[in-house]
Amino acid sequence: MSLSPQDQMMVDGLYWWDIPTFFRTPIERDPANCDIALAGVPHSTGNGTTERDQHLGPRAVRDVSAMAKRVHMGFELDPWTSCRIADIGDVPVPEANDNEATIRRITEFYKRIDAAGTRPVSVGGDHSITGGIMEAIAGPKANLTGGKKAAFLHFDAHTDAFEQIPHFLGAVKSAAHWAAWLVRDGFIDATHSVQIGMRGNPRTLDWRKPSVELGYEMITMAQYREQGPESIIRTIQDRIGDTPLYITFDLDCLDPTVAPGVANIEAGVQGFQVDEVMELLRCVRGKNIIGGDVVCLMPTKDNPNKITAHTASAIMFEMISLIADGIRSSDGSD
């Protein structure tokens, strides 16, 4: 049955109507047919804790994201009409309980996206997925970075660079290690990267040491509160410079009152509010953003109104809009 444009717009905004895709975008399996590929990475075994239903994150965001298919008022942009955006589906994970095999599967999947010159925005999954993605889209063999290393803008309550432990309950390229091995193996330039949002009492007093030795600029929540957003924004912008940028966003950087359904929750120190992270995300407008991900959503621990899934879709929308805005600018269509 065909609908009028007005009726179609009405039902497209109903999250409970029809077949869920990310932001009610079409399904397109070939990354060459889209400028921005929206991907799900339903992987949990890189976390290694009992909090292991993060593989349900992509389905949860698909379920609610129709409500977040909006225009971006700050950028005066309709990303859905300014470039080709499609749901490319999920990374296949036939060895889902084997973290190392799954990371290889993730890399194979994203190599196709990189070869097409398409920019991915993804939903995990635990934070180990970022390692598999960056092996494909950054470094000497990558198309999106032109063979260069990428920079990280990394939002998180934790550094995920815990080199002092050899594995995380058996997972080597784990959610606790990706921020370190990606630097060691030549995919990420830590000297142009920022880790922000770290908070709470750590398990060891030397927890900062790996990030410092790797070369990251690490900004804790205490530093953010003390210095204020204007100073922090200048630091982020200066640090990244012109380096190809990837944004990785762990939902646990948000305060538990904002995002209760996350893994490895940090309740002892107030985390970011939504407006604060939106301001920080928008400060990289105009940078060469090659992609982004939102990770560590725990749908089975979310509130009944699915607030964490809604927040995840809002963060994802911001990344989509930043990339679409960059595409619009490069096309000269401002």
Predicted local confidence at residue 303, as pLDDT: 95
Nearest to 132 by CA among 146, 113, 148, 155: 113
- Flag the least confident range among 42-46, 82-86, 101-105, 278-282: 42-46
CATH second-level architecture of 5-330?
3-Layer(aba) Sandwich (3.40)
Angle among Cα 97, 98, 102 to the nearest 5 degrees reads 105
240 Rama sector, left if φ>0, alpha if ψ -120 to 50, beta otherwise:
alpha
Query: Are 89 and 29 spatial neighbours (Cβ–Cβ below 8 Å)?
Result: yes
pLDDT at 321 over 90: yes
Q: Is the dihedral of CA 310, 313, 319, 320 positive or negative?
A: negative
Please, which pLDDT band fits residue 50 given cuts at 50, 70 and 90? low
pLDDT at 48 over 80: no
Percent of the chain with pLDDT over 70: 97
pLDDT at 311 over 80: yes
Dump pLDDT digits (tens) for 107-118: 999 999 999 999
Angle between helices 307-330 and 274-282 (to 10 degrees): 20
265 vs 313, more confident: 313
Question: Rounded distance, CA 2 to CA 14, Å?
Answer: 17
Question: Rounded distance, CA 250 to CA 19, Å?
Answer: 27
Predicted local confidence at residue 334, as pLDDT: 53
- Flag the least confident range among 144-158, 196-210, 268-282: 196-210
Dump pLDDT digits (tens) for 54-72: 999 999 999 999 999 999 9
Dump pLDDT digits (tens) for 136-177: 999 999 999 999 999 999 999 999 888 777 767 667 787 788
